[in-house]
Structure formats: C-alpha cells, structure tokens
Structure 1
Amino acid sequence: MGQGPSIARGNSNASRLLAPTLFPLPSDESYMPENTYLDVELEIVSAKNIIAGDYLGVTALLNGQLSSSDAYVVIEADGRRVAWTFPVFSTLEPVWNEKFFFRNVRLDSLCKLFLYDKDVNADDELGVTQFTTIIRMLNISFHGRNAGTIVVRVKSFPVEPLSYIRLYEYGPVRYSVHSSIAAGLMTMSTSNNAKIESLAYHIQLHNIPLFLAKNYEWNKDYPTIQRIFSSDYPESFVLRQAIMTQHAVIYTHGPNKSKYGAISAPADFFELIHHGRRQGNPVLFTYVITQNGWYFSETGATFFKDMLSKHMLHSGAAFSVLYAGEFRVDDHLFGEPKLVIDNDSGTYAPPKEDLPRLVALMENNFPGMAVEAVDRENQESQRIRKEILEDKPLAISFFLALDSPADLKLNCALGRKVSRSFHVVIGIVNVVPVSPTSFLVPATFRCGRARQSFNYKSGICEFPAAAPSPFSYLHRKITMGNSSSTSSTPDKTVLDVELELVSAKDIAAGDYFDMKAALKGKVASSDAYALIEVGGQKMAWTRPILDTREPVWNEKFFFRNVKPDTICNLYLLDEDFDGDDALGQTQFTATNTEGSVTTFELPIARNGNAAGVILVNVKSHFTEPYGDGQLQQYGPVHYSAHLSIASGIFTQSMTDDDKLQSSAYHVQLHNIQLILPNDHEWNKNYPTIEKIFSSDHPESPVLRKAVAAEHELVYCHAATTQYGQLYEPSDFFKLVNYGQRLEKRVLFTYAITPTGWYFSETGAAFLKDMLSKHMLHSGAAFSVKYAGEFHIEHNLFGKYKLVIDNNSGTYAPPMADLPKLKAIFEVNFPGISIEAKDRDDEEVKKARQEILNAWT
C-alpha cells in the first residue's frame, strides 16, 4: 500500500527496544481509580537530528546537504496504529505541528511513536520513542542507538467513558490530494479542468475497524481479474507488482505533487472534491476503503485508462478490502449536498448488508453529513450513473430573451437573472406561455442543481417573449451555440435576517381582574407573545410572558432567502386557555443593514388605535440564494415543556421522575411546510375514533371540543412551564432525559402539526383513558403532518440515536413519507443520528414491546 504507513518489512528490533509507556496523567490529578478513562489531545510538534532516509537527494543537495528524510510519524495506542502525520520533505529537522484527538483512553493504554521515511516503493524505519510527561523533548531510538529527538505535547483529562468503551479517534479528518505524475509533467500546459480530473484522494478516516471489521476478498466470479489474483496464472505476481507500483506512483508524496489538509465539517469535504462537479457537470468517483483509509478519484481519470480494474488500482492490488464501490454528490434538502455511495465494484463485490455500516462510518467521521448508501442493483442509481458517464444532460436550460423583463413571472427557485434582458430557467419543467411577457412555471418543480454552476451541457432553447411557442412540455436538446452566459454566478439578491424581539411597553390588556395582576396592584395584565409573519408566511413566535403589560422576551430568530423589501408583520397576542386574544400588530420592511444591528421602536396598532410599542433589533446582509431559494428559518429550535395542571398543583412535592412522566413537550420545528407539505387525515379505517371525527355521529363536535380542551390543559402555559432553545442534537436528547426514566427506556407518542412537534411519554398520566393519544397531542385535528412513536437508542460509541416511526392508528401516515420525516429532523438538528422506520418493521415492534414490558 502506497499511502497508509507502508512499512518496510525486515528487521523489527526497533519496535521491541523500549518498554511501552502510559499516557500521562492530568497534571491536576494525584490519584485516579484504575478504571479511569481519559480524553487525550496529542500534538506532534517537531523532530531534530533524525536519521537520513535518502542520500544525495536533489532537494537535499540544493539545500547544501548530502542526506535528508521525508519523515512522518505513526501513532500506536493499545498495540493498534491509529493515526499518522503528513510527511515533511527533504529535511532532518521536520516540523509537523499536527494535533490528534482520542477518546476512551485507559490509564494503562500503551502509546508509542514510530518515525518513517516516505518512499515510493516502501517506507524506511527511522526509529521509535515514547512519552511520559506533558511536554518534553523525547529521545528517538533506532537499533539501540540514539536517532534524534522529537517534541510532543500531550493534554489529557479524565472523563466518564461512553457506554461503548473502545479507544477511538475523533476531530478533524486528515487528507492528502495527489496529482498524477503524468499530469504533473504537463502542468504548465494543462488546463485546470484536466488537473482536477487527474487528482487522487486519500482520506485518513477515523475508526475504520470499529465500523467495517470484515475484509472482502477479490471476486472469484469476476473473470477479468483472475489473472491478477489467481495462482492459476503464472503472470499474476508480475501483474500485481506492476499495479502496486502504479498505485504508489499515483499516490506519491512530494512538495509539488501533494496537498495536505484536514476536514472539520461536511462542507470541507464537498469543497475538497469540488462539490462533485467539473465544468458544472456531475462526476462519478471510484473508491476503496482499506485499513489505511479511503482512496478515490474520478472514475474517468486519465490514469485509469487501460486498467483492468479501477478498484484494484486504488487498493494497490490488495487481495481484500474493507469496502469498495462508487459515489457521487447529489442535492439534498434546500440544495445542500448529499453523498450517495454504493457497493458497485466488480473486483471486490462487497455485500449490501454492510451498507448501513458504511453510512455509520461516514457519519462518524463527518458529523452532520447527509449520506445515502444504495445497492449497486438500485435502478435509479444505475440510471443516474449511466447519465453521468454518457455525459447526458441532467437538466434542460431555457434561455428567455425578453422585450420587457420586468414583467417576467418565474418561480424564484428556478429563475436566474443573467442580464437586464435575459433570465435562465434550469430543469426539465412545464413552461406554459401565459401572455407575451409571462410564463407559467409549476411551483412543484424542484431545482436539482441549486448553488452550482448553471452551464450544463443541456442545450439552450431561446425564443422571444413576444412570440411565445405553443408548447406545454419541452424535453429535448436544442443546440444554440455557446452557452457560457448561463454559467455566471447568481447575484447576491436575497437577505439573511437575524430578528431579535426585545420587549414591549404599554400594550393592551388581555385579562382583567386577574389574581396575579391584583396582587401587583394592577387591575389588568396580559400573557403576551409575538407571532412573526414574513412575506405572508407565519414563521415563528416567542414564548408568552405572563401577567404583565411590559413583556421582555429577548428572543432571536433567523431567516434566509428573504427578498429585499419583504413586509414583516408582528402580531401581539394574549395567551388564553379558550382562545388567544389579539393585542395589536405592527410591521417593518426587510432591508440590508450590511451586517450591523438596527434597532426599531415600532408602534403597535389595535383596531386603529395606539396600543403600545415593541422594540426589535434587526441585522441583515445580502447573500446568494440558499438551496432552492425558498424562505426558510434556521438556527436554534425553540421549545416549551409543560407540566400537566393536575400535576402542577403538587409541583413542590413532585420528584424529578414524576415531572418527567407528567411533562408534555412542544418543539417549534422549522420549515415544516417545506419538508412535510402533505396533510394526513384521520384514519377512516379505525373504528375507535369515528365517533370523534365522523359527521355520522352527532356527538362528534362535543367530543372533539372536549379533546381540544384537554390539549389546551396539557399544553397550558404557566409558571411551571420550561422554555428554551435547542442548538444541537445533544440538547434535544438532554431535554427528554436521554429517553429514559428510572434507568429504563421510555416510549414517546407524538404528532407533528403546522405549529410544531407535540409529544409526551406514551404512559403519561394525562393520556390515560384517552381514546387516542395522538388525537390529544394534535388537539383533535382532522389532519396532521405526521404522527407516530419514538424512542432513544444508543448508537456506536454510546452516542444517542432517535428512532421514530409512523405508528399511529388515528392518522396512519404512510411509509412513503418516512424519508421526509427523517429529513425534517436532520434539518432542525444537524448531525443528529436518526432512523425513521415503518410501524410494521420487526425491530421497531420488538423494541416497542421490550420498552412497554419493562414498565409492567
């Protein structure tokens, strides 16, 4: 193997010279139990006077030296090689300054550092050392003699180990990008496009053996590669050696051949591979995963030509790999990129059963990444693969020349202004001429190439608006010459807006002769909250501030894709049990504040009369349209946790366990209508609830009103209500006590409506004797966006995972919308580990029964 630590075999005395040592104790701990675990930060700083690996090298001679090394360090913990630095070239005094992070490190974990010289054929040993202090210069030993010194820094602290107790690495993921020598020779004359095509990537994925523990040998049923691997062919050894050499050449290291870096977020990965595009067109990548990392390149790379097997080249003709296939980058929610990866490798043919492990590996290394793993037999994936390789258009561009561009009506998600007189529409869409200057584009169309170049090899259809063509559907390629004008980057035409609702004064009263107001010497008060409407869409609202006419909220909300001059309405309402009273409204216009905070004191009007003022802070700036250009909310997710009124009377004597069981939660999920546009009506095949919803039962209005009243009681706002914001997945899991009570798992019942996610423990006291738990959470709504149950599981390394389903007899939402259900949580809680499963899934039914049985 060329680019993991490819160690020269032979004398291994160096690895036995020194007794292994322990990770150093934290400096502030004089004693810790033997079962203590550590989080460790290890920085490999530099080395001096190391052994030379190369003599009479050209670079060394230019530096006035006769010898040098291309040195890198391999880190071994618990006898397992877990990470390595990048090589530093042509020096005997390398400086790395690289940090590595490890979790679940035992006090007695063995740690050793090995130095190697990077070579094309095999890497030479330069020595081994150990460390025992927080920072010091360590002696390097090689075959019993001094071989220089190395500086390391170690920082560690005791932690409670995760339930899955194994040492593992975390933090930024290192990579190297290699330009093939053949392409490198032509660097001065090769286009940037050709250089990108010729790149090979090596990503040092963390914790590979923990996810992909099984090796998959070469495919005995693939005749093409038998003469490479099979001992029945005498030439196999020579051919394998040739491929290994080619692998080493492609993944060679050098100051002008390699680029090094670290991936800290999914966006870094997609940027590294140019968002899976070249010249605006999607490309396919071929990959293998070995114990040393993830190796890949474009499937059409020049160095692949005449190769019997692309996967074999990336693996270095290895007899087995941990996984292999192809991947591409698709658009996900709001135009965000998604990694679509498969097992399409004839050489190794890894089974589809390990695809979930492949997804888990990527999610562990790149938290928050959208990943989809599909089998090589997947029909849709095969179709897209064929289109990419045949360079067929994945979209049709309509280039509209207009006499009166101001009157052009186009869906903002589709239109891109090229100049004053031209617009371009991307995609295969229905375009219906409505008038000489108007074209109808269905709002249901979703632009599949948002935020990328729009210069696809799709052809251009040009026609004057003054003479619209009588077509209703166009799906053809028309060559109209150079289309470079459509590839210009979209202007920064929309706003990112941060809105803070600070406070209000002298607002109208919603309650008179209220007891709490009277105790404060007042005859009237309000439980005021503010509802935010942007461009006609009700987007968010504050918590109510109880018993005052001078509420202080200090709550921030974040919106993107806000068009300039959009009207933002603020409605003040008084929270009441039987219906919220209007206290007035005001408005302002979204304009560019150029990133500075602008404060507005807005007058509130109620029935034409002054009704106080509200103070708001607005900060905005121009940006490019995000995703498909639709108005979105983002940022922290607001929630409220409610104690049922019956329980609230006994709050002072209630245990934490009682409070957990008696709580109902309302989470104000963002962008519900965008992701879950369908409404699912009550289940006509569920006789139990017919008398609540069906007009055939005269008592239904009364029963529905009773259930709605119970909903208001359960979700009543009071002094015991807890409010907050969820910034990341861990905040959500903490809110629900990690899905357990009395150290036993609990089941939750939920409903998602246009106003949020409502849920409680399935066994909550207020759900007893209810005909339908989901009906209570929905407020007896005739339809919901989704409904079911969920529980919390431990994922790999003890991480928490949300497992959610559609198990609701009342609304019976379809399995087909489960991917959308999963998506809404991924959008609201980036990086969350989540599975969305059908109610008939055997694992779901088994887990549900186990949880319920534990409480009987």
Structure 2
Amino acid sequence: MSSCSVPIRRKNTVVEKVLMCNYDLSDNYDVIIRFHSAKILSRNVLGGHPDPYFIANIDHVISFKSIALSKTLEPSWYDAEWIVRNISRHAELIVTLYDKYDRKLSDDFIGQFIIRDLINYIPSTKGHDIINASNQYNGCFHLSIQSMKSSEETKQLPRYTLDSSCRYFCHNSMTMGRLTKINIDHTYPTWKIQMRRISFFFLPNQRQYWNKQYKSARAIFGNYPFSSTSRKSIKLAHKALYEKTSRYNENGSLNSSDDLWKFVFTNRITKIIKPCIYTYVIDNYSWKFSETGIGLFTDFVSKHALLANCSEYVCYAGEFHPRPKYGWDKWDDEWELVFDNNSRTYAPDANLLINLKQLLVFNFPGLNIVTYDCEDPKLQDSKEALTLAAQKYQNSLVTSQ
C-alpha cells in the first residue's frame, strides 16, 4: 500500500449522525455571536492574575475557542465573532472559561454559564454569571447574539456550519526557532487560519482517518503500551506551538487572497515570499500548517499528527508550497500555491483534492491553486525547482548579512 493510498473508513460517530440526519429545514436559524468581555473574581492557584480564555459550544456539536489573554481579571475579546448556520430553534450555548497553563495538557477551570434559549436570547445588562466548580459566583461575562431564520441558500449547508470570516493566527516559537534554525530572526512560526464552510466541502462521511498501514501511525494511535505516552507528548507539543495567546501570537483578518500573500506568506524581514515546503492539515474549522524540512526538529514539529493534535481523523492533509505562476525567474509576477496529499499518517484520498481546491478558492477568491496527487511526477519536478530557488534565497540572505 503506497503512502497515498486510501485507508479503511470507520463508522460515523454520534456527532456525524447528527450532522447527516434529515432535519426539518423550515425551522432552522443562523446566529451571529459576539463575545465582548468578562470580569473574573478569582485569581489563579499561585495568587496571580489568570491568563483567561473561553470555549463556547452550541449543542456540543460546534465550538469556538478564544485567544488567551495575559494576566488579567478583566479580559476583553473585542474581535471575537462567531457565525454559525443552520442550527435548531432549540439550540443552547455553553461558555466555559479557563486559565491557560502552558506546562499542562489541561488548563484550570474558572467557570461556566449556559444560555438555554439561544434563538430567543434576551441580553442582560449585568452580563451572565460565571459559576465555578463549587457552584459559586465567579464573575460575569458579556456577549451579544443576533439570530435570524436561515435563508434558502444557507439551508443547503450542513447543520452547524461555521461561516465566520477568515482569520489567521501565527504563533512564533523562539525555542523551536533556535532548534530548527530556518529563519534569520530565530523564530519558528506555526499558522492557523480559520476558514468558512469546511463542513460543506468535506462532509463528515469524507473524513480521512489515520492510516492503519503506516507503522508510525500505529505507534501513535494504536493500543500499544507506549502509545498513550506518545499521544500525550504530541498533544503537549501541539499546545505549545498552536495555542492562541496574546504574548507570542499575531492575528488578523484575511479579506482577500492578497491579504493571504501579504500577511501570511510574505516574510516580515525580507519582504519577499520564502520558497519552502509546508506541512498542512484541514480540520473541522481551520487550516493549520508549518514549514517542514529535513532537519530533526523541523521534521518533528511539522508532522501531521502534531498539526492535528493527535486527532484520529482530519478533513484533509498533505504538503504545499508557493511558486511563481510563470516560473522562478518571475518572482515579481503572480504566485500560486501547489497542494498535494502527501501524508503517510492520514493517506488522504486523491479524489478529494478538487474539494480542497474549491474550499480554498471559496475562502480566498482569485487565489491560484494547483493540486497534484503525491505520486504525480509533476509534483516532484515542482519540488526540485523549489529546492534550487530555496538555495538561491538562502545564498542571498548570507550575502546581505
């Protein structure tokens, strides 16, 4: 079985069945939820101010995770907007606050509140009471909710479809930057881009599960004595590299394909697009990726299992690289992104590359996308040309220093 063959699919989970069932679409709603701020009473276990963030979920089907703000009892999430399509008129919202702790897999619980009737929400001027684990008042949370009947267009989407605007989050790791040595500023960036309507382009029954034919995947996801320890280590590494924090992150809106090239792929120092290969996964809500390479640490932090936080399935996975559309001697002309399905961990179906292209073009109209099966000789030709361009890029950096 090749590294790109299709693994055996598993049965749908309960959530998948919820999403795939035939519901009465005449009584569906769309909601826009804006999370504003909170006031927290308790300090953390060491007596200092917490690093608060929240996770909101609707009916335990779809969730939203905020940025963790540094050392504050009065966090404000001014740009946290969540748009979800096709929810039930009986939907409820659960918001849980945590204190982020980098060195543990689980963070400390601050409190929670529930809005039982999301569609007929009545705002509270005093905010919503945050109730802690001892069932005591621990502060208040402010948000606003706008609901409307689903339009004929949004009724065609799967239930609980994320439709918020695209945003990018970049975590710059100084530790990994020093180990990988891939950038002149000694940082290793990991990227997460929230994208719209992934569940429309990749239906639940098209999920790509881990590849049982791949030995390294079996070591992670199997039932071996060391598998649990391996998963915990990978999840801890994922938390360090991808958690949304205000201290090591940059983030912003992506309103066009030009924004994608400018804010994500153009190097902040050199002001040009770096020729390199990225490892990526598409999960339920986002596109995660980081630069890959032959170095030990670079290879580890860009592994698909790490990008996916040890999830047993992804919507899609592989590698991609940027290149000038008309050749490497035309750096100042149009660029394109070349995607493949080269992931031995998940072995994605090559037939779904068209879904991937449609998803990316929908979110970034005008973006030039080329897709190749990982066994296509044209892909190897493109990577070889990229390698030569990368060498010239590195030589130019050495010369300029």
Q: Does 1:499 align with 2:33?
A: yes
Over aligned residues, Cα RMSD in angstroms?
Answer: 3.7
Give, in whole Å, the separation in 1 of the partners of 2:95 and 2:162. 16
CA contact (8 A) 2:165 2:195 kept: no
Structure holding more helix per residue:
2
| Counterpart AA for 1:620 | S
Q: Report the counterpart of residue 352 of structure 2 in structure 1.
A: 817
1:707-746 aligned within 5 A: 707-716=234-243, 717=245, 719-738=247-266, 744-746=274-276
| Counterpart AA for 1:534 | I
Taking a change above 3 Å as real, the CA distance of residues 573 and 648 of structure 1, as seen in their structure-2 partners, is farther
- Cα deviations by residue, 1:699-730 (Å, 9 ceiling, x for unpaired): 33333333332222322536121122222222
Q: Report the counterpart of residue 512 of structure 1 in structure 2.
A: 45
TM-score (norm 1): 0.37
| Counterpart AA for 1:829 | F
CA contact (8 A) 2:289 2:302 kept: no
Give, in whole Å, the separation in 2 of the partners of 1:760 and 1:442. 30
For residue 336 of structure 2, the aligned residue among 801, 805, 811 is 801
Taking a change above 3 Å as real, the CA distance of residues 855 and 585 of structure 1, as seen in their structure-2 partners, is same
In structure 2, the gaps of 5 or more residues are 1-17, 327-331, 392-401
Q: Report the counterpart of residue 580 of structure 1 in structure 2.
A: 107
Q: Report the counterpart of residue 320 of structure 2 in structure 1.
A: 790
Taking a change above 3 Å as real, the CA distance of residues 494 and 746 of structure 1, as seen in their structure-2 partners, is same
Give, in whole Å, the separation in 2 of the partners of 1:538 and 1:575. 21
Give, in whole Å, the separation in 2 of the partners of 1:835 and 1:739. 22
Q: Report the counterpart of residue 695 of structure 1 in structure 2.
A: 223
| Counterpart AA for 2:85 | R
Give, in whole Å, the separation in 2 of the partners of 1:688 and 1:634. 35
Instruction: Tell me the SS of whatever aligns to 1:512.
Output: coil
- Cα deviations by residue, 1:260-302 (Å, 9 ceiling, x for unpaired): xxxxxxxxxxxxxxxxxxxxxxxxxxxxxxxxxxxxxxxxxxx
Q: Report the counterpart of residue 369 of structure 2 in structure 1.
A: 834
- Give the C-alpha shift of residue 640 in structure 1: 1.7
- Give the C-alpha shift of residue 814 in structure 1: 1.1
Q: Does 1:561 align with 2:86?
A: yes
Paired positions, count? 356
Instruction: Tell me the SS of whatever aligns to 1:768.
Output: helix
Taking a change above 3 Å as real, the CA distance of residues 690 and 559 of structure 1, as seen in their structure-2 partners, is closer
CA contact (8 A) 1:497 1:619 kept: yes
Instruction: Tell me the SS of whatever aligns to 2:185.
Output: helix
Instruction: Tell me the SS of whatever aligns to 1:712.
Output: helix
Q: Report the counterpart of residue 758 of structure 1 in structure 2.
A: 288
Q: Report the counterpart of residue 74 of structure 2 in structure 1.
A: 550
Q: Report the counterpart of residue 748 of structure 1 in structure 2.
A: 278
- Give the C-alpha shift of residue 552 in structure 1: 0.7
| Counterpart AA for 2:279 | T
- Give the C-alpha shift of residue 848 in structure 1: 1.7
Q: Does 1:611 align with 2:138?
A: yes
Q: Report the counterpart of residue 11 of structure 2 in structure 1.
A: none
| Counterpart AA for 2:35 | L
| Counterpart AA for 2:62 | K
Q: Report the counterpart of residue 638 of structure 1 in structure 2.
A: 167
1:428-447 aligned within 5 A: 443=20
- Give the C-alpha shift of residue 494 in structure 1: 4.2
- Give the C-alpha shift of residue 767 in structure 1: 3.7
1:310-329 aligned within 5 A: none
Q: Report the counterpart of residue 668 of structure 1 in structure 2.
A: 194
Taking a change above 3 Å as real, the CA distance of residues 700 and 442 of structure 1, as seen in their structure-2 partners, is closer
Q: Report the counterpart of residue 300 of structure 2 in structure 1.
A: 770
Give, in whole Å, the separation in 2 of the partners of 1:711 and 1:532. 21
Percent sequence identity is 26
Taking a change above 3 Å as real, the CA distance of residues 718 and 553 of structure 1, as seen in their structure-2 partners, is closer
CA contact (8 A) 2:284 2:315 kept: yes
Instruction: Tell me the SS of whatever aligns to 1:839.
Output: coil
Taking a change above 3 Å as real, the CA distance of residues 749 and 633 of structure 1, as seen in their structure-2 partners, is same
Q: Does 1:706 align with 2:246?
A: no
- Give the C-alpha shift of residue 507 in structure 1: 4.6
Q: Report the counterpart of residue 525 of structure 1 in structure 2.
A: 49
In structure 1, the gaps of 5 or more residues are 1-440, 448-489, 514-522
Q: Report the counterpart of residue 203 of structure 1 in structure 2.
A: none
1:42-121 aligned within 5 A: none
TM-score (norm 2): 0.75
CA contact (8 A) 2:283 2:315 kept: yes
| Counterpart AA for 1:663 | P
Instruction: Tell me the SS of whatever aligns to 2:252.
Output: strand
- Give the C-alpha shift of residue 445 in structure 1: 7.0
1:238-249 aligned within 5 A: none
| Counterpart AA for 1:806 | N
Taking a change above 3 Å as real, the CA distance of residues 764 and 633 of structure 1, as seen in their structure-2 partners, is farther
- Cα deviations by residue, 1:604-633 (Å, 9 ceiling, x for unpaired): 122322121001122334453414153322
Taking a change above 3 Å as real, the CA distance of residues 597 and 505 of structure 1, as seen in their structure-2 partners, is closer
1:407-426 aligned within 5 A: none
Taking a change above 3 Å as real, the CA distance of residues 648 and 718 of structure 1, as seen in their structure-2 partners, is farther
Give, in whole Å, the separation in 2 of the partners of 1:800 and 1:444. 41
- Give the C-alpha shift of residue 831 in structure 1: 4.4
Instruction: Tell me the SS of whatever aligns to 1:846.
Output: helix
Structure holding more strand per residue:
1
| Counterpart AA for 2:34 | E
